[in-house]
Amino acid sequence: MIAAYQRISRADGDLGKDGKDKSNSIENQKELILRYISCKESLQNVPVMDFVDDGYTGSNFDRPGSKATERRVCYDGDFKQPEIQ
C-alpha cells in the first residue's frame, strides 16, 4: 500500500469558494504523486491510500491527515518502508 499525503494551508485561497471542498493545490499534489507512481514500474499495481490536510498549517503535526498517516504507516502494518521523494 502507498500512503499519499497532501497538505496545503488556508493561504491557498480557493478552498470553500464556489462550493469547493478541495483546493486546486491538493488536486495538483495528488496528480503529481500519481504521475510519479505511474513512472515507477514497481509501484504501478500497488494500492494508493490518500491522506489529506486541506487548510492546515505545516508548522506543526497537529493535523488529522498527518496523524491518520502516522497511525496507518507506523502501527497498522499495511505499508512497507517508505520511499520519500
pLDDT digits (tens, 9 = 90+) for 38-66: 999 999 899 999 999 988 888 888 899 99
Name the grid cell of 68.
Answer: 491518520
Burial status of residue 52 (CB atoms within 10 A of its CB: 0-12, 13-18, 19 or more):
buried
Q: 32: left (phi > 0), else alpha (psi -120 to 50), else beta? A: alpha
The Cα 26–Cα 15 span in angstroms is 10
pTM: 0.69
User: What's the pLDDT score for residue 60?
Assistant: 81
The pLDDT value recorded for residue 14 is: 57
What average pLDDT is seen over the chain?
80
